[in-house]
Amino acid sequence: MEPTSLAFRERATRALADPVLSTALARLETGWQAARARAAADLPEFEALRDAAVAIRDHALAHLDFYLEAFERRFTERGGVVHWARDAAEARAIVLELCRAARARTVTKSKSMVAEEIGLNAFLEAHGLRVIETDLGEYIVQLAGEVPSHLVGPAVHMTRERIAELFAKAHGGPPKQDSAALVAEARRVLRQRYLEADVGITGANFLIAETGSIVTVTNEGNAELTQGLPKLHIAITGIEKVVPTVEDAFVLLRLLARSATGQEFSAYTTFLTGPKRPDERDGPEAMHLVLLDNGRTRMLGGPMRAMLRCIRCGACMNHCPVYLAAGGHAYGWVYPGPMGSVLTPHFVGIEKSWPLPNASTFCGRCEEVCPVRIPLPGLMRLWREEAHRRGLAPPAARFGLALWAFFARRPPLYRFATRIAVALLGAFGRRRGRFARLPFARGWTESRDFPAPEGSTFTAQWRARRGTGR
Ligand code: SF4
């Protein structure tokens, strides 16, 4: 997928004017955001689990080569085959080759962000394969010809009416307005597709080095049907997903669903340990795992390493005021929200995505709710610095920053200049108490008034409060 992140501002402006999208995004606040708060409050050891999760992820990342090799050994002993892919092109080629060797025509697929990252669907379709998404949200966005707008809820931006239209067009019959009827319709259609599929492709939430197991997590059971019914199962995931033990995986699983949707556990959590054995009735005859690097080892050795802890729960976007206003498509590539603002520049280059790290108020909520305590604002700041060093931001923004830096490096001059500015704004705005328009703050005053300051600067007020012990 070609990134369009440079158009973030235009896309976000369009999104802000879209009442349907605003209503859909508001549901995240009342829904998953509130549910996560309840789930965290109901579990006394929630914060301790987060600390344990950080330790597990950091330990696994510090010994990634060791655990990946251990995983490969176990996985191979259980009859699976591991393929190592350096980049997206290699990963796509491996999957295509496996599909061709299986003489596949139809492929079912459960949700995989790594598959999105490498543009797998479009590639397989361009080579004559029929690819069917089986996660309901992914199926909906596939019918719409769109990409997911959220890690956990790919179609959160859509209304029921729009989904009903899409289903009526794809399946025939009049549009259904009842959610249960729409789900039943998708289930009926997808059941047939599971039976037709020659290959099932899934992602993997975790890989367990101790047992050589792949862990998948869904709420619909579609990963199980995707991997279990066709003869060939191909899983694809990033190399950072490995954890040492089953116990470690459970620590992360206890946090994953709570952080994502407020559930104690997702409805389906499956540990896949090799293909079907001779005495087993169910399961694929062959199981292959594509392990993708695609820049992850570069991240491991650099200042963004903490980002590899991510367990793709989506909590950072559920709590981000920018995501909740602009929606996922504004980010212009696969990964939206604060985690996407860190990952996208890494994967597509900062020159193609520099607006994203700036699409943050730095309120810190993303870091506050991240189950593995990734310092997202700090990582976005690193990208801002890089963009500034390379001169990627527009001249006006760079001039503004340079001007601010000039004063900030000279505290007496800064205090003097801000005192003058505050005094002038206070004098001009005294009568109405606010400004409806300000020449250098049009972006602010276009949608709200700017309050007239009451006479003293922020620094002066701060000092006064500290002086009185407040
Ligand atoms: S950065 Fe943290 S909160 Fe965001 S998806 Fe990853 S684990 Fe979840």
Binning pLDDT at 50, 70 and 90, where does residue 122 land? Answer: very high
Residues 6+ apart with CB under 8 A from 123: 92, 96
Probe residue for ligand 1, chosen from 150, 206, 310, 319 as the CB with the greatest number of ligand atoms within 8 Å = 310
Q: Which atom of ligand 1 is nearest to the CA of 314?
A: 5
- Contact between 300 and 244 under an 8 Å Cβ cutoff? The reply is no
- For residue 115, what pLDDT is reported? 98
Q: How far is the CA of 339 from the centre of ligand 1 (A)?
A: 6
**Look-up of token digits 């206003």:** 325
Q: Is this structure's pTM higher than 0.75?
A: yes
Binning pLDDT at 50, 70 and 90, where does residue 447 land? Answer: confident
Q: What is the mean pLDDT of the chain?
A: 94
More confident residue, 414 or 177: 414
Closest residue (by CA) to atom 2 of ligand 1?
370
**Residues of the chain above pLDDT 90, percent:** 84
* Domains of the chain as residue ranges with CATH: 43-297 (3.40.50.10420), 396-467 (no CATH)
| pLDDT, tens digit, 9 for 90 and up, residues 376-411 | 999 999 999 999 999 998 888 888 888 999 999 999
Residue 431 has pLDDT above 70, yes or no: yes
| pLDDT, tens digit, 9 for 90 and up, residues 6-40 | 999 999 999 999 998 999 899 888 899 999 999 99
β-sheet bridge partners, residue 243:
208
Closest residue (by CA) to atom 6 of ligand 1?
310
CB atoms within 10 A of CB 178: 10
Torsion of CA 24, 25, 30, 36, to 10 degrees: 130
- For residue 128, what pLDDT is reported? 98
Closest residue (by CA) to atom 8 of ligand 1?
313
- Contact between 91 and 294 under an 8 Å Cβ cutoff? The reply is yes
Instruction: Report the C-alpha gap between 258 and 419 in whole angstroms.
Output: 48
Q: Which atom of ligand 1 is nearest to the CA of 309?
A: 7
Average pLDDT value for residue range 225-243? 97
DSSP one-letter string for 289-356: EEEE-TTHHHHHTSTTGGGGG-----HHHHT-HHHHHH-GGGG-SSS-HHHHHHHHHHHH-GGGTTHH
- For residue 313, what pLDDT is reported? 97
Instruction: Report the C-alpha gap between 373 and 387 in whole angstroms.
Output: 25
Q: Is 87 left (phi over 0), alpha (psi -120 to 50) or beta?
A: beta
Q: Residue 21: CB within 6 Å of ligand 1?
A: no
**Look-up of token digits 């116990």:** 247
Q: How far is the CA of 458 from the centre of ligand 1 (A)?
A: 33
Binning pLDDT at 50, 70 and 90, where does residue 121 land? Answer: very high
Average pLDDT value for residue range 118-140? 97
- For residue 459, what pLDDT is reported? 87
Probe residue for ligand 1, chosen from 36, 152, 261, 370 as the CB with the greatest number of ligand atoms within 8 Å = 370
Instruction: Report the C-alpha gap between 452 and 97 in whole angstroms.
Output: 66
Binning pLDDT at 50, 70 and 90, where does residue 432 land? Answer: confident
Instruction: Report the C-alpha gap between 361 and 6 in whole angstroms.
Output: 18
| pLDDT, tens digit, 9 for 90 and up, residues 250-282 | 999 999 999 999 999 999 999 999 999 999 998
Average pLDDT value for residue range 209-229? 96
Probe residue for ligand 1, chosen from 253, 256, 259 as the CB with the greatest number of ligand atoms within 8 Å = 259
- For residue 364, what pLDDT is reported? 97
Instruction: Report the C-alpha gap between 126 and 53 in whole angstroms.
Output: 40
Average pLDDT value for residue range 195-204? 97
Q: Residue 310: CB within 6 Å of ligand 1?
A: yes
Tokens representing 68 are 């990946």
- 336: amino acid identity, one letter: P
Q: How far is CA 96 from the centre of its chain?
A: 26
DSSP one-letter string for 407-432: HHTSHHHHHHHHHHHHHHHHHHHTTT
Tokens representing 370 are 């991240």
